[in-house]
Amino acid sequence: MLKLKNVQTFYGNIQALKDVTIEISEGEIITLIGANGAGKSTTLMAVCGIVPPRSGEIFFMDEPITGMEPDKIVSLGICQVPEGRRIFPYLSVAENLDMGAFLRNDRAEIKKDMEYVFDLFPILAERRHQAGGTLSGGEQQMLAISRALMARPRLLLLDEPSLGLAPLIVKQIFEILSKINAENNTTIFLVEQNANLALKVAARGYVMENGRITLTNSSKNLLADEEVKKAYLGL
Amino acid sequence: MITFDEIKKAFLVSIWFMFLTFPIMVIRVNPVEHIVEWRWKNMLVVGIGSFLLSFVWNYLMKRKELGFKKAESGEETGTIPLVQRILGEKKIYIPALVVAGIFTIAFPFIFSLYQTNIMVSALIYVMLGLGLNIVVGLAGLLDLGYVAFYAVGAYAYALLNYHFGISFWIALPIGGLLGATFGILLGFPVLRLRGDYLAIVTLGFGEIIRIILENWNEFSFGPSGIANIPRPSLFGINLSVHESTIYIYYIMIALCLFTVFVVNRLQDSRIGRAWIALREDEVACQAMGIDKTKTKLTAFSLGATWASMAGVMFAAKTTFVNPASFTIWESIIILCIVVLGGMGSIIGVIAGALVLILMPEYLRAFSEYRMLAFGVLLVVMMIFRPGGIIPNVRRVYTFQGVKNTDKS
């Protein structure tokens, strides 16, 4: 479904991604793990077109999307939950969700989807008229995920959803991610520091180091891999 | 209770102020008779005045902090300002609107021509403020060259009329369109800029337009400007100066109402929501599929459209345009209207425009101190009412939401 082929990106003169090749098929949950500054977030930014690659190609549903404008890419069905949540603090929860459905025009369907995300995260329904900035960290993450779901993405990109959250809430969010994947057949590309949890949810994983993919395998094998254990699982 | 500490502090403040104002308030050099006058009485006045004022200041600061504490502990503080409470209640709101409506309609017949004229210029600033509110208040793009679009509108009417004899009613939409075009022209190069950088570039743009108008004699007749611009016509009837002022007043009222209506609709529309979202977080906006380019350009060009239409109005009202009317100072006044009135709040911007434009007119006696009063007003406002005279309703509405959910 999503294919990155030898993607290279730069921030000025600094190379962030070196020959990154990733492949995701439909309905999968894939995770990309790595240390700080490995280039995980940049990979997502490249897919979204916010940081376009300097060379290499990106395909979505076999169509090239390299160098497309971010809004065009979103309209194809790729939606990102950016790192650090980045909800709109002065808009209410409901308005935040409405922004997620920015590119859609079917009011009835949008309403249905809103009910669906309120079903997933009942706390958001309670707080629907509250300003986004007044929510707690966990609620904000839920809102960020819900907002992305409102775009009805075929591919959901998540950038460190566990960032700064209590373990219990992280667990809850990951359970819901699996649920979303199972119910809507939404493909999920998960970027995480919390390798242990991410590999438990995902079917396959990629390991990134200094802008390069150094390892790829099924989650089971990665969890058993000595190197990965030492470097990312802290075992 | 006044403690010893407070007295000490007030004393120090007064000494500081006496020192600060010493050169201007005490020493006066008389160059004719070669004597230096020492006006110690002034120093005493400044000292006592600042001593007393520092108590008032202390009291206000304390009250403000008390308000914060109450808000934190979730007590009822009456954070909802009076005006919004009035707007919330239909019983008060509708009669108030009717009274205001009758007053506006009857205004030119109650008051003199002079007053009507002042009101017309205030209304022009209302329009400018509402237009800039789209750019600064909603989309969060700090535009310091807004007056350029105002100039575009004014010169559009003046030149079109001079060369082709085009009348006001045709020039008004043409001016608006021209403004929108210039908005897009300026918008394109500055799309990548934010905050301070954007402010500097727009400031430069504003000056460029003014300098072009000043120096391109063949095109704009330079500093001498263009005179004898006709006032708006009423189905070909010749109006006297008095009548046409009243007529312009009504056109302005209609235009302002139209502006309020459009801005209000825009605020609640998707594009309005996108502007607010863009102001808050650009990356998140892009992740939601909002076209950053298009959204910013619409904000710029829509804001510019109103400025241009106000410019056409201005040219028709004064019947004379020259570059001196479009200095950077105008841009700053308009920005002050938006900030002082309350960013993003329509009624706030209207109040801000009326206060900032009418006050100097009625306080002409103190015109020497205008800048001083202006500065003091801005500083005091930013400390005690950072949201503006009438802050945006959105925020108040969300605070209510917090309270309700806390109780449930």
Q: What H or E segment, with its residue span, contains residue B38?
A: strand B35-38
Share of chain B above pLDDT 70, in %: 89
Q: Cβ contact (<8 Å) for A92 and B401?
A: yes
Residues of chain A positioned with their CB less than 8 A from the CB of B288: 74, 79, 99-100, 102-103, 147, 151
State whether residue A40 sits within 8 Å of chain B by CB: no
Q: Where does residue B374 rank: exposed (0-12), middle (13-18), buried (19+ CB within 10 A)?
A: middle
Give a yes or no: residue B100 inside a domain.
no
* pLDDT score of B379 more than 80: yes
* pLDDT score of B329 more than 90: no
Q: Which of A89, A130, A151 sits opposite B288 (nearest CB)?
A: A151
Question: In this predicted structure, what is the pLDDT of residue B101?
Answer: 85
Higher pLDDT, B143 or B365: B143
* pLDDT score of B79 more than 60: no
Q: What is the token pair recorded at A181?
A: 């994947």
Longest dimension (CA), chain B: 79
| Structural domains counted in chain B | 2
Stretch B314-320: mean pLDDT: 91
Q: Cβ contact (<8 Å) for A50 and B283?
A: yes
φ/ψ of B43, rounded to 5, equals -60, -40
Give a yes or no: residue B43 inside a domain.
yes
Q: Do B166 and B306 lie in a common domain?
A: yes
Q: Do B42 and B135 lie in a common domain?
A: no
Residues of chain A positioned with their CB less than 8 A from the CB of B273: 91, 95, 98-99
- pLDDT, averaged in runs of 10, over chain A (235 residues): 91 91 92 89 90 91 89 90 87 89 87 91 89 89 92 91 88 91 91 88 91 90 86 74
B265 three-state secondary structure: helix
Q: Cβ contact (<8 Å) for A147 and B288?
A: yes
Q: Which residue has the tokens 């403020």?
A: B129
Give a yes or no: residue B340 inside a domain.
yes
Give a yes or no: residue B326 inside a domain.
yes
Stretch B258-278: mean pLDDT: 89
Stretch B343-359: mean pLDDT: 87
Higher pLDDT, A108 or B268: A108
Question: In this predicted structure, what is the pLDDT of residue B304?
Answer: 94
Beta bridge partners of B28: B37
Q: Which of B288, B291, B405 sits opposite A99 (nearest CB)?
A: B288
Q: Cβ contact (<8 Å) for B286 and A70?
A: yes
State whether residue A158 sits within 8 Å of chain B by CB: no
Q: Cβ contact (<8 Å) for A74 and B287?
A: yes
Question: In this predicted structure, what is the pLDDT of residue A104?
Answer: 86
State whether residue A81 sits within 8 Å of chain B by CB: yes
Query: pLDDT tens-digit profile of B196-249?
Result: 888 899 999 899 999 999 998 888 888 888 888 888 877 767 777 788 888 899
State whether residue A129 sits within 8 Å of chain B by CB: yes
Stretch B60-82: mean pLDDT: 62
Last residue of a domain, one of B68, B102, B124: B68
Structural domain of B45: 4-68
CA distance B270 to chain A (A): 7
DSSP output for B358-374: HHHHHTGGGGGGHHHHH
φ/ψ of B310, rounded to 5, equals -60, -35
State whether residue B405 sits within 8 Å of chain A by CB: yes
Stretch B350-375: mean pLDDT: 81
State whether residue A106 sits within 8 Å of chain B by CB: no
Q: Cβ contact (<8 Å) for B270 and A102?
A: yes
Question: In this predicted structure, what is the pLDDT of residue B184?
Answer: 92
* pLDDT score of B407 more than 70: no
232-271 in chain B: CB under 8 A from chain A = 270
Q: Cβ contact (<8 Å) for A102 and B288?
A: yes
Q: Which of B281, B289, B408 sits opposite A151 (nearest CB)?
A: B289
* pLDDT score of B80 more than 70: no
Residue B396 — very low, low, confident or very high, per pLDDT cuts 50/70/90? very low
Last residue of a domain, one of B14, B39, B68: B68
Q: What average pLDDT does the structure give for chain B?
A: 83
Question: In this predicted structure, what is the pLDDT of residue B397?
Answer: 42
Q: Do B266 and B324 lie in a common domain?
A: yes
Stretch B100-118: mean pLDDT: 85
Give a yes or no: residue B153 inside a domain.
yes
Q: What H or E segment, with its residue span, contains residue B35?
A: strand B35-38
Amino acid letter for position A164:
G
Give a yes or no: residue B86 inside a domain.
no
State whether residue A87 sits within 8 Å of chain B by CB: yes
Give a yes or no: residue B105 inside a domain.
no
Residue B176 — very low, low, confident or very high, per pLDDT cuts 50/70/90? very high
Q: Which of B287, B293, B398 sits opposite A79 (nearest CB)?
A: B287
Q: Do B302 and B354 lie in a common domain?
A: yes
Stretch B358-368: mean pLDDT: 78
* pLDDT score of B147 more than 50: yes
Residues of chain A positioned with their CB less than 8 A from the CB of B284: 82, 86-88
Query: pLDDT tens-digit profile of B292-311?
Result: 888 999 999 999 999 999 99
CA distance B332 to chain A (A): 26
What domains, with CATH codes, occur in chain A? 2-88+154-233 (3.40.50.300)
State whether residue B78 sits within 8 Å of chain A by CB: no
Question: In this predicted structure, what is the pLDDT of residue B71?
Answer: 58
* pLDDT score of B68 more than 80: no
Identify whether the C-beta of residue B53 lies closer than 8 Å to the C-beta of residue B83. no
Question: In this predicted structure, what is the pLDDT of residue B399?
Answer: 41
Higher pLDDT, B27 or B252: B252
State whether residue A92 sits within 8 Å of chain B by CB: yes
Question: In this predicted structure, what is the pLDDT of residue B401?
Answer: 42
DSSP output for chain A: -EEEEEEEEEETTEEEEEEEEEEE-TT-EEEEEE-TTSSHHHHHHHHHTSS--SEEEEEETTEE-TT--HHHHHHHTEEEE-TT----TTSBHHHHHHHHTTT---HHHHHHHHHHHHHH-HHHHHTTTSBGGGS-HHHHHHHHHHHHHTT--SEEEEE-TTTT--HHHHHHHHHHHHHHHHHH--EEEEEES-HHHHHHH-SEEEEEETTEEEEEEEHHHHHH-HHHIIIII--
Question: In this predicted structure, what is the pLDDT of residue B400?
Answer: 41
Question: In this predicted structure, what is the pLDDT of residue A60?
Answer: 92
Higher pLDDT, A131 or B92: A131
Amino acid letter for position A118:
F
* pLDDT score of B342 more than 50: yes
Q: Do B392 and B245 lie in a common domain?
A: yes
Q: Do B213 and B297 lie in a common domain?
A: yes
Give a yes or no: residue B74 inside a domain.
no
Question: In this predicted structure, what is the pLDDT of residue B127?
Answer: 94
